[in-house]
Amino acid sequence: MPTKDVIVLADLLGTNKKIAADIRAELERRGILAVNLLSSPGAGKTSLLEQIAVRLRDTAKMAVIEGDIETERDAERIRAKGVPAWQITTGGACHLEAKMIARVLPEVPPESEFLFIENVGNLVCPASYELGERLRFVLLSTPEGDDKPKKYPKAFTTSDVMVLTKADLLPYLPFDIEKVKAEALELNPRLKIFVTSAVTGQGLDGLIAFLAGERRDLAARHA
Partner 1 sequence: MHELSIVAGLFETLEAQARENRAARITGVTLKIGRLSGVVPELLESAFDMYKKGTIAEAAKLTVDVVPLRVRCRACGTERGVESYVLLCAACASPDLEILEGTEMILERIELESDDP
Strands 114-118 and 62-68 turn out to be parallel
Compute the least distance from the CB of residue 119 to partner 1, in Å: 12
Return the number of the residue (151 or 222) whose C-beta is nearest partner 1: 151
**Residues 80/48, Cβ–Cβ less than 8 Å:** no
Return the number of the residue (39 or 112) whose C-beta is nearest partner 1: 39
Residues sharing a CB contact under 8 Å with residue 103, sequence separation 6 or more, in sequence order: none
Compute the least distance from the CB of residue 156 to partner 1, in Å: 9
Binding site for partner 1 (CB under 8 A): 1-13, 15-16, 93-95, 97, 124-125, 127-129, 150, 153-154, 157, 185-187, 189
Return the number of the residue (54 or 185) whose C-beta is nearest partner 1: 185
Compute the least distance from the CB of residue 15 to partner 1, in Å: 6
Compute the least distance from the CB of residue 68 to partner 1, in Å: 16
DSSP secondary structure of 32-74: -EEEEEE--TTSSHHHHHHHHHHHHTTT--EEEEEEESS-SHH
Return the number of the residue (124 or 209) whose C-beta is nearest partner 1: 124
